[in-house]
Structure 1
């Protein structure tokens, strides 16, 4: 089967600009004519395999970055935003959205930022937020949303941080019992470790170099927090350099992202890329066996599996999501075509919501989204006890999944009829942008479809989706 043509003009132009070359000089180095390069940069011609090879060999460019993953995410985000009622009328066809995302990604991101600003202002007006009217009440994305989008558009894989963590873990024991080795590394830095009842998960006093961890937290959490502090102390310059490239709009966003990168380092050091990728394949992604082998929690393992997207050694492309008991998405990462709702909760037909009913058990689901893509989804309830009588227990549910073409690599898919069309349950992203007409769990009408209301007929819903 012929490979699809790769149109990546903006990315090619961005690469040339970053190298500080004119079109004429760049064309000469790539071994193509100036008009041919100009046509490729303007998406009038696809990027040839010869050019991709030259970019990789002569300039060290990661040609995987020329793929369509970011374009697909932009198309998904544009589709959701354009379903907002403020855009009265028919939504542009998918082909137009793909052209915009591929040819003008900067403009597409600016459009998304403009919509976020509109939503921020609209929500403040609707809630009569007393911050309205203050000089600092600007319609910008919240720092949390800005950081979430940063990881989202990086495919949740940060190469420099991941490799640094793998290097730091080169001497860890192979049985997953690394607490002693991590503590010895901290001891070498002059850090004193203490466990205390009633303490927060982690508290570091820079002056005394005392690291205090909660005695009530699990052993996996304590090791993870030790690794996070190790990242802060030994790789601060790397974290800051990565943040400089991201160019966050506020100090708050940068501070949140710095913690996020330190968390990323901790997970990557706990489960080093090469060893973890090999073990994941050998264990057929059995979360419990991987958790025991690396001294990690099931949630940590599932999250780490969603980051295995190193260009030359990719793992199964997973999505990972965590929801609270209200259905609100608190973590979301996707290396698949499945994109999560940016606003509101997830589809109620998704098995991640049913996981709360069966604590401690894995739930399996074959699902199909409105675009016809089929997925295998694994869900489980995750409880985080407070560590003492009367302390609140935090309950979440996580879901890990992949497109059904990869399901054979998961032990959890054994025995499921992956070839039977009616075995796949219809799910969506969120009700407001899902146009399934006969959904029995619909909470609100789809924004981009007209409704028919018959006062003489009532079915499951008081209206019909046109």
Structure 2
């Protein structure tokens, strides 16, 4: 996949130094014909030969085959898969050649594509909010109800001019009271839409909590440090580990959680603060169950295998997913997103990833493995997902039974799903297998541009 970058760069740098193929081949102790095959991407180069070539061309090894070029190549190949460019017959196999010969133009094209993708993501997120936001739906419903009441009272006053003064005053009072409520709703809606233009403001309590976790990269070091000083085994109560961790998080870490919530300006509403406190207590319980100084190296050793980690730390799947999303953002550490959904398709919890457009207030695309996993409960299912923007992700989903179980009682399932970019997935045991097909998915029907999808349940917002 990266060979075209190396071969082309060797050729371009050799020419810039005024070296012939014959001369460079002599210095490398290989035949000119073999060097020609390398430069035209017909043979690979690595190890000692690559290092000697870099030395002869007076380049650092990373300048020939660096990580930045790998990411740039991935992005150009994603651009080639964009649905809106499908009719252009883009030569995807020439992406490496393009980077090697014209690195500046390649970076410029990638920057334009990234800018366009971010603009589309923002537009889709806004469309999702405007169509599915429960606050907006409730406000519009309340507004219509008040308008109907005002209209009814006004019609009575118009149609029956001779009604007694007492009743007339009563209808005037109804119009006055409903008008005041209508004004309050209008002011709330105006404030809501004002927030849409402010990138540093949030819209609903759910957004406020999401913004808090996103700003902290889903990691709260003060909770990690305090949890490490407490330790789960310091509580002698004979209770299941998870129940014990939850109780300790509430009693010993509760004051710290309250102070964190109180300091967050992004948490503007009582509902948001309540949601944030619940989420942070769960975070603290997970930190007690799997301290990061032990979890992090073990996770890397196991290739971030979620089932192996559950066994190693005696954890449930939800806690494993929580700890993986809280991993420090270091070079070489994959970044995980997390989704949890019930059997009705409702997303109960979400920690998204950059570039992964997901609905906040509606069900996601039914083609996500998040929903398919409930057909095979307790098994981890992997999916290579290609979004309309060209972004590629690896999804890992596992359905688990929830609630009280027993003979004669129905089983209810929720699904935990981790998401990684394809680039990060290569750092795990879930690295995308070239033999596994890439599945075209979308964010949600209402905000998905794939109009020809056979599984579409609703028309797109832009239709």
Which one of the candidate residues 139, 148, 160 is aligned to 2:222? Answer: 160
Q: TM-score, normalised by structure 1?
A: 0.57
Match of 2:286 in 1: 267
Shift in Å, 1:146? 3.4
Match of 2:370 in 1: 352
Shift in Å, 1:396? 0.8
Which digits, 9 at most, give the CA deviation of each residue in 1:327-349, with x for residues without a partner? Answer: 11111112443132112101111
Which one of the candidate residues 79, 101, 120 is aligned to 2:123? Answer: 79
Residue 418 of structure 2 corresponds to residue 400 of structure 1: yes
Which one of the candidate residues 318, 337, 348 is aligned to 1:299? Answer: 318
Q: Which has the higher helix share?
A: 2
Which digits, 9 at most, give the CA deviation of each residue in 1:372-427, with x for residues without a partner? Answer: 1111111111112404445553311121121111223332447x217x8xx21111
Shift in Å, 1:239? 1.3
Residue 427 of structure 2 corresponds to residue 427 of structure 1: no
Which one of the candidate residues 434, 439, 449 is aligned to 1:417? Answer: 434
Q: Does the Cα contact within 8 Å between 2:365 and 2:443 map onto a contact in 1?
A: yes
Shift in Å, 1:225? 2.9
CA distance in 2, matches of 1:86, 1:330: 20
| SS of residue in 2 equivalent to 1:254 | helix
Q: 1:159 to 1:358 in 2, by over 3 A?
A: same
Q: How many residues were matched structurally? A: 307
Q: Does the Cα contact within 8 Å between 1:382 and 1:395 map onto a contact in 2?
A: yes
Match of 1:183 in 2: 235
Q: Does the Cα contact within 8 Å between 1:162 and 1:264 map onto a contact in 2?
A: no
Q: Which has the higher strand share?
A: 1
Q: Does the Cα contact within 8 Å between 2:333 and 2:427 map onto a contact in 1?
A: no
CA distance in 2, matches of 1:72, 1:329: 27
CA distance in 1, matches of 2:285, 2:120: 31
Q: 1:228 to 1:75 in 2, by over 3 A?
A: farther
Q: How does 1:36-435 map to 2 (within 5 A)?
A: 78-83=122-127, 118-122=136-140, 124=142, 133=181, 143-169=205-231, 181-184=233-236, 222-247=240-265, 248-308=267-327, 310-311=328-329, 315-389=333-407, 391=409, 393-413=411-431, 416-417=433-434, 423-435=437-449
| SS of residue in 2 equivalent to 1:267 | helix
Q: Does the Cα contact within 8 Å between 2:385 and 2:441 map onto a contact in 1?
A: yes
| SS of residue in 1 equivalent to 2:456 | coil
Residue 453 of structure 2 corresponds to residue 436 of structure 1: no
| SS of residue in 1 equivalent to 2:388 | coil
Which digits, 9 at most, give the CA deviation of each residue in 1:147-167, with x for residues without a partner? Answer: 344324433222222332234
CA distance in 2, matches of 1:394, 1:287: 22
Shift in Å, 1:257? 1.7
| SS of residue in 2 equivalent to 1:147 | helix
Q: CA RMSD in A?
A: 3.8
Q: 1:156 to 1:135 in 2, by over 3 A?
A: farther
Gaps of 5+ in 2: 1-65, 70-114, 150-177, 193-202
Which digits, 9 at most, give the CA deviation of each residue in 1:46-97, with x for residues without a partner? Answer: xxxxxxxxxxxxxxxxxxxxxxxxx99985763224436979xxxxxxxxxx
Shift in Å, 1:350? 1.0
CA distance in 2, matches of 1:73, 1:228: 40
CA distance in 2, matches of 1:82, 1:300: 31
Shift in Å, 1:360? 2.0
| SS of residue in 2 equivalent to 1:83 | helix
Shift in Å, 1:362? 1.8
Q: 1:376 to 1:82 in 2, by over 3 A?
A: closer
CA distance in 2, matches of 1:127, 1:304: 46
Gaps of 5+ in 1: 5-70, 88-111, 170-177, 188-192, 196-221, 450-466
Q: 1:389 to 1:306 in 2, by over 3 A?
A: same
Match of 2:459 in 1: 445
Which digits, 9 at most, give the CA deviation of each residue in 1:286-323, with x for residues without a partner? Answer: 22211111110122212321221x24577311111111
Q: Does the Cα contact within 8 Å between 2:325 and 2:335 map onto a contact in 1?
A: yes
